[in-house]
Amino acid sequence: MKKIVLISSGQPSVNPRLVKEANFLIEEGYDVSVIYSFWTDWAWEMDQKLFKNVSWEPILAGGSPYKNKTVYFLTRLRFKLVTLIAKKLTLDFGIAEMAKGRASVELLHEAKSIKADFYIAHNLAALPVAVKAANYHKVKCGFDAEDFHRQEVSDSPLDFNYRISSFLEDKYLRYCNYITAASPLISKAYQEIYPKLNPVVINNVFEVTHLQNKRERVDDKLKLFWFSQTIGKNRGLEDVVEALNILDNEAIELHLLGNSSEESKDYFYNLLPKRKKQLYFYNPIPPKEIFSFSAKFDIGLALESNIPMNRDICLTNKIFSYLISGLAIIASDTEAQKSFMEENEGIGYVYSIGGVAELAKKIHYLFQNKTVLMNFKARTIQLAEEKYNWEIESSKLIRLVNSQIN
């Protein structure tokens, strides 16, 4: 049986794309290991639940507050030191590799210890690891560009993330045997910098088995929904809250799913002083439960910013989650989302970033016009079933993988 190793500097439970790929490769007959490192406390318990229901092998590298604590502590100290060196002195001599991921050394140690037929990096910190492990075992490797990494934090070439990310991309992407990208515009952006790459687009879609049935509004309420790993400021939510203030309609509710502090909750409650009962917070749930949970609402909000460039050209898993959950969509007018909504008419509306009055009008229209809302919801389900699902996208992936291994 052929062996494939997936590598990430984050945790599997917060990376549905990695989990889908690992599960799929198992189904295709490959032996799969996922090497990962600890990133955040709230995902640890979700990881443990996830691992009980998968057939691939999860391997923790670099310790955590719950396992191999000494290693975790030492890697944090090293990470702080090399980050300082990278910012002040140099990115050479392996400094950039260590400064991009806390446990990069340990990830590489684990990857080299497994003789695989193919290695796939699932974020930029994992890219040098996959390339080096593949070179060590004289096999091939791939890279999944879920983001346009050099402009993930800032568009300024002077920004540290821009400098370290472009340094690592320039150094290692040339050694990848294939590259996948999470949106057409991310693929285009990489292609323009590296004409020989030819990234293959694999959208952030989900298995059609998660498809939800269309649900009618059973009361006079209109329920807006948004989710992310973290609920916080400057995520576009301020636009929605201000729109609710303009509408002054207690039958229109905003439901938020994600990790949130009391400070964050108070911040949004204070922005909506007259209608606190319209605002609901939910703690994170396992990824596989997101679809049935989402289906309880009416409109999915995709509130991306257009700064930095990565936000403007990415298509997050939100939009595809809303599709398969049967929600109408209201999306901010980033280049990627505007293009997507124009290509797939009849699923919702686009609004101008910061255009609060425009957003309020579109929410109000869907509140008043139940038939239009239900038509949008029916169309999203149809698109998920016929065009945007993992069964279709995974066929691209398996052709890529098989072409490199067989």
Cβ–Cβ < 8 Å for 319, 331: yes
Q: Tell me the pLDDT band of 277, cut-offs 50, 70 and 90.
A: confident
Kindly list the domain boundaries of the chain, sorted by start residue.
3-205+390-405, 208-386
pLDDT, one tens digit per residue, over 307-342 is 999 999 999 999 999 999 999 999 999 999 999 999
CA 17 to each of CA 24, 225, 228, 317, 381: distance values in angstroms, whole numbers, following the listed order: 11, 21, 14, 9, 20
CATH topology of domain 3-205+390-405: Rossmann fold (3.40.50)
Residue type, 19: V
- Listed as own residue / partner, the contacts of 363-367 with beta carbons closer than 8 Å and 24 or more positions apart are 363/222, 363/224, 363/243, 363/244, 363/247, 363/252, 363/299, 363/330, 364/247, 364/249, 366/222, 366/298, 366/299, 366/328, 367/222, 367/247, 367/249, 367/251, 367/252
pLDDT at residue number 196: 93
Sheet containing strand 348-351, strands side by side:
279-282, 252-259, 222-230, 299-302, 328-332, 348-351
Q: Among 39-43, 122-126, 213-217, which is the least confidently predicted range? A: 213-217
pLDDT, one tens digit per residue, over 63-120 is 999 999 999 999 999 999 999 999 999 999 999 999 999 999 999 999 999 999 999 9
With a cut of 70, say whether residue 276 has pLDDT above it: no
CATH topology of domain 208-386: Rossmann fold (3.40.50)
Q: Who contacts 51 (Cβ-Cβ below 8 Å, separation ≥6)?
A: 12, 58
With a cut of 80, say whether residue 216 has pLDDT above it: no
Q: Hey, do 3-205+390-405 and 208-386 end up sharing a CATH topology, with the first three levels equal?
A: yes
Q: Who contacts 349 (Cβ-Cβ below 8 Å, separation ≥6)?
A: 329, 330, 331, 341, 362
